[in-house]
Amino acid sequence: MKVFVYDLEKCNGCHNCQIVCKDEHVDNEWLPYAMPQPDTGQFWSKVEEEVCGRVPHVRVNYLPVQCNHCDDAPCMKGNPAVKKRDDGLVIIDPVESKGERGIVDACPYGHIYWNEELEIPQKCTGCAHLLDDGWEVPRCVDACCTGALRFGEEADFADELKDAVVLGEEFGTAPRVYYLNKPERFVAATVVDVYADEVVEGATAMLQRAADEEVVSTGETDEFGDIWFEDVRPDVYRLWLKKDGYLDQAVDVDLTQKDCSIPELQFFKQPVKA
């Protein structure tokens, strides 16, 4: 059984996967696997992006998405036009599915598109027409330059998949598309002694969860006064700063909705007694 594995740390956001899917399927008919994809508006492979943080602590997260070729695919239920292949790919028969708009609605991910002109539901086929003709991988995988997107036997990826996540786990559809290094939220700050006009290196930073006061992460500010806590679960926290000779500093950070950047976190020296 095949899987798609995206390593998001290696995804450079070039959109090649999105583009070559169109190169393969727009204006090309691959019956019995697929009818042509409309020129625009459908994205059997799609790169989503999200800009997080504030200047100067900004990250861009690219997230390529596609049909998850679920083992327990809602689109298959009660729809004989949708079939699971032995290799795990889910294919919508382009002839049998004519008029079956319910197939589009069945997908909790929104990865099935309705072709108005042909009156058929359409989505990623895993380029099954190529695989069955001896090609090694689908077009999107072939076009990926950085190795962020791979395709192959599940067993060959077993070691890596232990740390992988799927999208929409709560849908319970057993997706066959896995993601490595999917970022959670971050807290970033530049710690500055504004009176000295210097960044503060070597301050201990602790991230304490508000709900139970557990310290979930600790670190030290670097040569730039920067502290980055990565992959933090969405929640409410208190960021503590401590360093000898400085007053302890605490800032509340709310990561429930978005990442947090503190461009200039002021840190004060203990007053010197006369």
**Cβ 63 to other proteins shortest distance, Å:** 12
Q: Is the separation of the CB atoms in 221 and 202 below 8 Å? A: yes
Question: For 191, phi and psi rounded to 5 degrees?
Answer: -95, 125
**Cβ 80 to other proteins shortest distance, Å:** 26
Q: Which residues bind other proteins (CB under 8 A)?
A: 10-16, 18-20, 22-24, 26, 28, 30, 39-41, 43, 47, 49, 51, 53-60, 62, 129-130, 133-135, 139, 142-143, 145-146, 190, 192, 194, 197-199, 201, 223-226, 264
Nearer to other proteins, 41 or 234 (CB): 41
**Cβ 70 to other proteins shortest distance, Å:** 26
Nearer to other proteins, 106 or 137 (CB): 137
**Cβ 262 to other proteins shortest distance, Å:** 13
Nearer to other proteins, 17 or 177 (CB): 17
**Cβ 41 to other proteins shortest distance, Å:** 8
Nearer to other proteins, 70 or 111 (CB): 111
Nearer to other proteins, 194 or 250 (CB): 194
